[in-house]
Structure 1
Amino acid sequence: MPTCTLRQHDNEKWYIHWTEGRRSRRVSTGQKEEAKAQTFLARWILGEQQDATDEGAKFLVSELWQLYYERHVEKNNANVRTADTVWRNLAVHFGAMTLAEVDSAVEDYISLRQDGAIGNSEAAPATIRHELSRLKACFNWCAAPKQKIMRPADVPVFDLPPDSDPRTRWLRTEEIQKLLDAAVEHRKANQYSDGARLSRAERFLWLALETGTRLQAALDLTWDRIDFETGNINFNVPGRKKTKKRRTTVPISAALRPILLRAYAERAGDLVLDNKSLSIWRMVKAIAKRAKVEGVSPHVLRHTAATHMLRNRVPVWQVAGVLGVTVQMIEKIYGHHVPDGLLGAVDSISGGSLEPAE
């Protein structure tokens, strides 16, 4: 283990600094008090140099999360924003606890999140399940043989809330048209580029509804990955870390093509949506309010694209290819929209050879 030093940064937090392979490295202790930072350093070195011992059980949850975040999340996740959001809620309740205190605190956390006492609003069971799943992932990573930060026997054991039923909200054709019409009205009313240039929200709505792409993929999209000659959009960023949220190449639909051609002529930079600011979603919510269309979210737009494809009898495997998910996932979430796809199967049971009794 190379020599480590503690240094306090401008944000008042103490960081561990060391050199590895001629490169300077650092990791945050998450502490503003030097004494606590020294304790973190001692435990951090212990995790680096020794096999896991009962010392691991004395770590605070915040210390374990910091190790997990610095060594795993930042290195292996293309977008750490979700992990940051999850930890903001977990930290309020679990941050100052030791492992021994976690088990008995889970039920309280579930109750507090459901009531809105933690977080900005009341949380759905699926949200709480996701947050606690990330906490479990942190503990399991720290207990893995490769890390040896804590013993597997010290990993807290607790049940997760039951998974929610798949969300079924999707926009019907008339709702989509209202949303797009309201987007034009919103642009002109707010005089974006004198009301002539398509707003960021309009471009995103068209992309989401015509390709089923996720918000982050749309924010990352650059013009050089839209090929008007072959008619394809490549949502995968070159060199991007591979994650479960796969990004695919999607054909440009007949409805989307004139929108993209106009947006290309009006482009103000390399990014299709101008920049990666999440303020775009405030614009979309304002448009949905103007259109009087309720329940609009990035997930609902993606869900809408999938639902319309399936209702128009697009094969499940093709829908899975567009969305970048498995066929099993499509069948689980969206299969109820195409029960007539099973007609041939049930018709073959008797082959039409049976006759009703008189």
Structure 2
Amino acid sequence: MGYTGKAVLAHFGHYRPDQITTDLCRSYAKQRMDSGISQGAVHTELGHLRSAMTFAERNRMITAAPHIERPAKPTPKERFLTKDEVLRLIDNADAPHIGLAIHLLFATAGRVGAVLDLTWDRVDMDRGTINLRLDDARTRKGRAIVPINKGLMAALQHARDAALSDHVIEWGGKRVASIRKGFEGAVRRAGLRDVTLHTIRHSAAVAMVSSGIPITQVAQYLGHSNTAITFSTYGRFAPGHLTEAAEVLDFVKLRAVK
């Protein structure tokens, strides 16, 4: 929200909530997209403004939240990485903590916030598990307890031997607030395109489903409380998905029998 506010407040900050109009929202969207910002990013930014206005109304800070018009949400990209591409990303990281973060993101299918929050007391080397959850209820949602595979175990053991703080992802003995710049640098050096931090989590889910891991297990790994969400997003990547349905529509078989 703080990052989004830099752009949103420059355009809307001089207005009262009741002065925000559809035309003002449209001019913001046009200005941002004319400057090269993607439609999806503008959709998100105006969504944050909508959330802030709704919060203000709910807490009686304003009488009524204005209508915030947003451009249509673009169709999600189907980009996902192969294991070789993930390895290329790690190899092209210009700092050890960036490479370890990428490895953790893929091996745990966790969100970047969960990985940056991770502390060594929640990494159980003996049991071979990582607890991505924090104790507070707010950050438990969408976070899971996952096993550590052999490749990640070796990387974590090496990192723990050199650790200078409680956080697994650290730089100079301090918690890392963001890996965006380092990640984007690794993407460029690896020669990849259309790759974001969320692409790693998406790729991990696709890798599991396409290898035949049951949707229920994938949902647990992703921290989804509802397996229907997991299936609607990743079911099409399952081997044999809709194969039986396709067989029902095969009229050539009928001709062969005759």
Q: What interval of TM-score do these two structures reach, taking the shorter chain for normalisation?
A: 0.7 to 0.9
State the partner residue of 2:191: 292
Q: Hey, what's the Cα distance between the residues in 1 that align with 2:139 and 2:115?
A: 16
Match runs of 1:5-154 below 5 Å: 83-103=1-21, 104-116=23-35, 122-144=36-58, 147-152=59-64
1:69-111 Cα offsets, whole Å, 9 max, x none, are xxxxxxxxxxxxxx11222221111111123431131110110
Alpha-carbon shift at residue 310 of structure 1 (Å)? 1.3
In 2, are the aligned partners of 1:221 and 1:272 still within 8 Å (CA)? yes
Q: Does 1:264 align with 2:160?
A: yes
Q: Hey, what's the Cα distance between the residues in 2 that align with 1:339 and 1:124?
A: 33
1:340 to 240, 243, 251: 240
State the partner residue of 1:232: 129
Q: Hey, what's the Cα distance between the residues in 1 that align with 2:138 and 2:238?
A: 31
Q: Does 1:178 align with 2:88?
A: yes
What is the aligned length?
251
Query: Greater Rg, structure 1 or structure 2?
Result: 1
1:208 to 98, 105, 110: 105
In 2, are the aligned partners of 1:212 and 1:322 still within 8 Å (CA)? yes
The alignment partner of 1:171 has SS state of coil
Alpha-carbon shift at residue 282 of structure 1 (Å)? 2.7
Q: Hey, what's the Cα distance between the residues in 2 that align with 1:163 and 1:177?
A: 31
Q: Hey, what's the Cα distance between the residues in 2 that align with 1:156 and 1:208?
A: 38
In 1, are the aligned partners of 2:108 and 2:221 still within 8 Å (CA)? yes
Point out where structure 2 has 5 or more consecutive residues left out of the alignment: none
Q: Hey, what's the Cα distance between the residues in 1 that align with 2:127 and 2:245?
A: 37
The alignment partner of 1:340 has SS state of coil
Amino acid corresponding to residue 327 of structure 1 in structure 2 = T
Q: Hey, what's the Cα distance between the residues in 1 that align with 2:133 and 2:140?
A: 13
State the partner residue of 1:222: 119
RMSD: 2.7
Alpha-carbon shift at residue 339 of structure 1 (Å)? 6.2
In 2, are the aligned partners of 1:214 and 1:302 still within 8 Å (CA)? yes
Amino acid corresponding to residue 25 of structure 2 in structure 1 = V
State the partner residue of 1:304: 203
The alignment partner of 1:263 has SS state of helix
In 1, are the aligned partners of 2:144 and 2:223 still within 8 Å (CA)? yes
Alpha-carbon shift at residue 223 of structure 1 (Å)? 0.8
Alpha-carbon shift at residue 244 of structure 1 (Å)? 8.2
Structure 1 residues 100 and 272 mapped into 2: Cα distance closer, same or farther (>3 Å)?
A: closer
Q: Does 1:281 align with 2:195?
A: no
Structure 1 residues 224 and 149 mapped into 2: Cα distance closer, same or farther (>3 Å)?
A: closer
The alignment partner of 2:254 has SS state of coil
2:74 to 145, 164, 174: 164
* TM-score, normalised via structure 2 length: 0.85
* % identical aligned pairs: 27
Q: Hey, what's the Cα distance between the residues in 2 that align with 1:313 and 1:165?
A: 26
Amino acid corresponding to residue 12 of structure 2 in structure 1 = F
Q: Hey, what's the Cα distance between the residues in 2 that align with 1:211 and 1:109?
A: 38
In 2, are the aligned partners of 1:201 and 1:281 still within 8 Å (CA)? no
In 2, are the aligned partners of 1:166 and 1:333 still within 8 Å (CA)? no
Alpha-carbon shift at residue 159 of structure 1 (Å)? 3.3
Alpha-carbon shift at residue 125 of structure 1 (Å)? 2.2
1:314 to 204, 210, 213: 213
In 1, are the aligned partners of 2:169 and 2:176 still within 8 Å (CA)? no
The alignment partner of 2:208 has SS state of helix
1:223-259 Cα offsets, whole Å, 9 max, x none, are 1101122211001122x35158521111111221221
Structure 1 residues 210 and 93 mapped into 2: Cα distance closer, same or farther (>3 Å)?
A: same
Alpha-carbon shift at residue 344 of structure 1 (Å)? 4.1
Alpha-carbon shift at residue 158 of structure 1 (Å)? 4.3
Point out where structure 1 has 5 or more consecutive residues left out of the alignment: 1-82, 117-121, 188-198
Q: Does 1:247 align with 2:134?
A: no
The alignment partner of 1:355 has SS state of helix
Alpha-carbon shift at residue 345 of structure 1 (Å)? 5.4
